[in-house]
């Protein structure tokens, strides 16, 4: 048994390699107290939860964290995380929209909207009105979405039957390889020759296959590259079903993994539109923007 196989099959260390960076940000150049309308979007996903605050239609701040075993608590904690930083209370927020897998379990939400519509709306804000094709690589599902120049969905396809091509699949590989999840992407390029993609279409089998590759003498980096390629191929086949138009944009946690993103771009022959905003908050941002539009409509009546 080589050293890398031994390390991968040995009793796991207590270190949680899959644990991604939780993140809080707010615009320090602005004061939320100056805003006329404050709306909030809460995206309770299967793996991560985000709370986004929008002041008068502009992104003001967000908090992104791991979803716990209770959706209402995850929603509360996500929002509390950003409100504590800026001295805001729930009463200061005019409208709250819940989205994501646990959207109906956001206790203080005024409305629930599907993550499909919210990701399209969020991507439209983050990538601009040129965004037409969105790939949302979530924690446990993957969605291909087409939208118009206003971010309204025109076509969508979701694969939530298995975790292949999702963030959870990447977490599994991170733990198996005992490499921090943020390092997987960069390390996947550190190979002499690009390996064949892992062939298994199931995360559980892919895990076995990754171990078999280590046993066959693959380096960890080569196994990661094979896995990133497999993820890219799976989501591209999903995208091809609805077609890819110019104005391509990736949302979700996997958008932060260059090992997967670059391989998707190569397979599609198209570069994704860039943004400076955290791709993981797209759904919650879209939800908050929906809330803002609803408030504006109410005010106009």
Partner 1 sequence: MIANYGYKDGSGEYYISIDTDKCIDCAAERACLKACPQQMFEIITDDYDDEVAWVKKEKTRALAYDCAACKPAGGYTSLPCTSACTPGAIKHSW
Residues that bind partner 1 (CB under 8 A): 113-114, 116-117, 152-162, 201, 237-238, 241-242, 290
Task: State how beta strands 153-159 and 142-147 pair.
Answer: antiparallel
**Which one, 61 or 165, has the nearer CB to partner 1?**
165
Q: How far is the CB of 295 from partner 1 (least distance, A)?
A: 16
The DSSP bridge partners found for residue 32 are none
Which residues does 17 contact at the CB level (< 8 Å), separation at least 6? Answer: 174, 175, 177, 178, 179, 180, 181
Q: How far is the CB of 97 from partner 1 (least distance, A)?
A: 10
**Which one, 169 or 185, has the nearer CB to partner 1?**
169
246 secondary structure, DSSP code:
S
Task: Let me know how long the chain is.
Answer: 301
**Which one, 36 or 152, has the nearer CB to partner 1?**
152
Q: Is 46 helix (H, G, I), strand (E, B) or coil?
A: coil
Instruction: Go through 155-165 and write b for each residue having 16 or more CB atoms within 10 A of its CB, e for each that does not.
Output: ebebbeebbbb
Q: How far is the CB of 248 from partner 1 (least distance, A)?
A: 18
**Which one, 141 or 171, has the nearer CB to partner 1?**
141
If one counts every other C-beta atom within 10 angstroms of the C-beta of residue 1, the result is: 10
Q: How far is the CB of 201 from partner 1 (least distance, A)?
A: 5
**Which one, 165 or 253, has the nearer CB to partner 1?**
165
Q: How far is the CB of 191 from partner 1 (least distance, A)?
A: 27
């Amino acid at each position: 048994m080589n050293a890398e196989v031994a390390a991968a099959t040995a009793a796991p260390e207590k270190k949680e390699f899959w644990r991604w960076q939780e993140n809080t940000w707010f615009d320090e150049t602005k004061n939320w107290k100056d805003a006329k309308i404050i709306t909030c979007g809460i995206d309770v996903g299967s793996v991560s939860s985000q709370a986004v605050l929008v002041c008068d239609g502009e992104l003001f701040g967000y908090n992104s964290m791991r979803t716990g075993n209770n959706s209402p608590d995850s929603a509360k904690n996500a929002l509390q995380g950003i409100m504590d930083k800026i001295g805001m209370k729930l009463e200061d927020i005019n409208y709250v929209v819940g989205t994501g897998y646990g959207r109906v379990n956001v206790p203080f939400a005024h409305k629930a909207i599907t993550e499909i519509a919210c990701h399209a709306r969020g991507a439209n804000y983050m990538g601009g009105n040129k965004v037409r094709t969105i790939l949302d690589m979530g924690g446990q599902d993957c969605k291909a979405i087409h939208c118009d120049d206003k971010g309204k969905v025109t076509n969508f396809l979701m694969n939530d039957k298995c975790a292949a091509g999702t963030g959870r699949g990447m977490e599994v590989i991170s733990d198996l390889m005992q490499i921090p999840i943020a390092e997987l992407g960069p390390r996947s390029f550190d190979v002499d020759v690009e390996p064949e993609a892992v062939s298994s279409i199931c995360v559980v089998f892919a895990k076995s296959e990754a171990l078999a590759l280590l046993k066959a003498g693959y380096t960890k980096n080569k196994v990661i590259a094979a896995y990133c390629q497999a993820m890219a191929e799976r989501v591209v086949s999903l995208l091809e079903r609805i077609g890819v138009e110019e104005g391509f944009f990736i949302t979700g946690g996997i958008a932060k993994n260059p090992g997967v993103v670059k391989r998707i771009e190569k397979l599609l022959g198209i570069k994704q539109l860039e943004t400076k905003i955290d791709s993981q908050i797209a759904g919650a941002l879209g939800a908050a923007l929906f809330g803002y539009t609803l408030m504006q409509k109410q005010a106009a009546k």
